[in-house]
Amino acid sequence: MILFGEHAVVSGAAALGAAVDLRVRAGIEDLPGRVEISAPDLRVTLAGIAVDPFSGAILGNSIKEGAVHATRYISAVLKEFGARDLRVTVVSEVPPASGLGSSASVVVATLGALSRHLSLDLSLDEIADEAHRIEKSVQNGLGSPMDTALATFGGYQIVEGSAKLIDLPEMRLVVGFTGRPHDTRAEVEKVQSFGARYPEIVDPIFRAIGEISTRAVGCIRGGSLEELGRLFDANHGLLESIGVGTRELSELVYASRGAGRAFGAKITGAGGGGCMIALPGPGPENVLRVMTAIAQARGEPFSVVTGCPGLRLEDSADEI
Amino acid sequence: MILFGEHAVVSGAAALGAAVDLRVRAGIEDLPGRVEISAPDLRVTLAGIAVDPFSGAILGNSIKEGAVHATRYISAVLKEFGARDLRVTVVSEVPPASGLGSSASVVVATLGALSRHLSLDLSLDEIADEAHRIEKSVQNGLGSPMDTALATFGGYQIVEGSAKLIDLPEMRLVVGFTGRPHDTRAEVEKVQSFGARYPEIVDPIFRAIGEISTRAVGCIRGGSLEELGRLFDANHGLLESIGVGTRELSELVYASRGAGRAFGAKITGAGGGGCMIALPGPGPENVLRVMTAIAQARGEPFSVVTGCPGLRLEDSADEI
């Protein structure tokens, strides 16, 4: 999840991202003579599906847009290592195309499982690098190294020129999913084209966003949540100003701040759909209040903890 | 009406304002031995009222908040010139406390009427200066010279350091009133305090707003309305980022852009309530589309033309 700095980071502004406790689980088992990808998602749109990753031929029959989308990433990982004779099963708690880095998580989880299955012994650094390369190639050159690094290492990442891990305490946030998938490429291109036409307007906006990211780090470290909320609000307005807001996102943001009494709320990710995040007041009753406000504004709320662990090898195949 | 640059103008950023065809009419007649102020507003909240401007005692009985508010400005004008033995009647088409400069218009109209009644022969420059001084004193030091200058001279004013008239073509806009009066002082103080705490965030935001104002002038001059709409949207987001947005304003803005198919929409004035403005597509059907969208989002829409004449002496007292 991007907390601060989306879009502006492309132009060198500081950004802050966090791993959250929504997990993607990938398992691999032998399947002689075949390659199958199964992604029976339990959450939103992924459906059970089996695709030949090399020909692209669909082997299963329960196909939805989101699932086809996710398998493209899994196929790319398998192709990269020439993997055959296996079944990959991926289960995701992350809503696809929501701006929560579901694609990066799928790539990292698949890479982790494949590394163990083929005894590749990839290090976390190698997995993060490889995952970024693969995600970028599937997305025709688009893709933030932050998403794959967060899915790999967990915790928080600050980008200031380059990305690095930063030690900050966990936080409880509420995510509101609009139910509308977004198109990262389209949003990035829209912002870039606006910036190319009006650099004298967009450059200072990006500078302000970068300053917000930097100040936010201090607020999280010091536990100044009310102040952090104000920075959420400021960053949200700046995202609106570069054209990635939508009516639905705005409704969830205002519902969180109003009836939800959140300290602040903003779009997370590329915008144009996807998710917003809100910072609730302390205690479970305030988390519930924000979740209720988002649900009443026709969003899908879920509660997350930021700064959680990244890639983890688990032994129980049953958990998938 | 402020088109671009509200709040940022205080820090030296460029701003653009326009007179609109919502008129405040003031008439003065002799009333030996008494002073009466009558402000039977035909539009929103002003009610018929008579107040002793010197003691503040209420002479009439139909009192509402907005009316008491408006009479303070009228009283201040009368007091300035020691005017007695008269009845002032002010009728306003401008919703009070909506961020559309109703107070400035009331002061200018009253000054114009008083100048004729007492044969003071004030020039337009004198009226604009005097009106600014009076508005500011009533508002304890707050008050933009642009509001009073626009009410006096009409047309458009660009502020770049100092305010000056600028020749631009008329435009049709739709105003959406949230029905919520706003408190200019509170909004200005909120923004100033945010800027004092985070100059490194707010300075570039103000710089971006100033650039938008400058580019907007070229768009209005060249009739590039789609591009102008995009600048409305960008300025709106920047106003959200400094904390003067509200849920109601946002709903009217998104309704205008969505169902109303406006080229762009933004808060106008201090925010925190009051009005937003939208730039409709060409032709009366598009104006109607935006007005309908605003009404469906529970706003009060009205259509205005920007760049209209300012203070005007009329002979027919019947028109009041």
pLDDT digits (tens, 9 = 90+) for A36-63: 888 765 333 333 333 333 444 433 333 3
B250 lies within 8 A of chain A by CB = yes
Instruction: Determine contact: A256 vs chain B, CB below 8 A.
Output: no
Active site residue B203: no
Residue range B24-159, CATH number:
3.30.230.120
- In terms of phi and psi (left: phi > 0; alpha: psi -120 to 50; beta: otherwise), the region of B127 is alpha
In chain B, where are the structural domains located? Answer: 24-159, 168-305
CB burial of residue B318 (10 Å; 0-12, 13-18, 19+):
exposed
User: Which residue in A109, A272, A283, A284 sits closest to A186, CA to CA?
Assistant: A272
CA-only gyration radius of chain B, Å:
19
Please tell me whether B225 is known to bind a ligand: no
**C-beta neighbour count of A169 within 10 angstroms:** 11
Asked if B211 lies within 8 A of A194 by C-beta distance, the reply is no
- Asked whether residue B105 is marked as a ligand-binding residue, the answer is yes
Residue B38's DSSP bridge partners are: B89
Q: How far apart are CA A21 and CA A133, in angstroms?
A: 24
B317 touches chain A (CB under 8 A): no
Q: Is B95 annotated as a binding residue?
A: yes
- A194–B200 C-beta distance less than 8 A: no
Per-residue model confidence as pLDDT tens for chain B (320 residues): 999 999 998 889 999 999 999 999 999 999 999 998 887 653 333 333 333 334 433 333 333 444 446 788 999 999 999 999 999 999 888 766 666 778 889 999 999 999 999 999 999 999 999 999 998 888 777 777 888 999 999 999 999 878 899 999 999 999 999 988 777 778 989 999 999 999 999 999 999 999 999 999 999 999 999 999 999 999 999 999 999 999 999 999 999 999 999 999 999 988 999 899 999 999 999 999 999 999 999 999 999 999 999 999 987 655 54
- Provide the whole-model pTM: 0.85
The structure tokens listed for A138 are 């599937």
Q: Do A242 and B234 touch (CB under 8 A)?
A: yes
Interface mutation target, options A4, A198, A232, A257, chain B, most CBs of B under 10 Å:
A198
A15-18 and A2-4 beta bridge pairing: antiparallel
List the single residue in A230, A238, A258 with the smallest CB-CB distance to B237: A238
What is the Cα–Cα distance from A19 to A305, expressed in whole angstroms?
8
Number of residues that make up chain B = 320
Fold for B168-305, please state it. Answer: Alpha-Beta Plaits (3.30.70)
- Annotated catalytic residue within B147, B183, B203, B233: B147
Cβ distance B208 to A212 less than 8 Å, yes or no, reads no
Contact A241/B243, CB-based, under 8 Å?
no
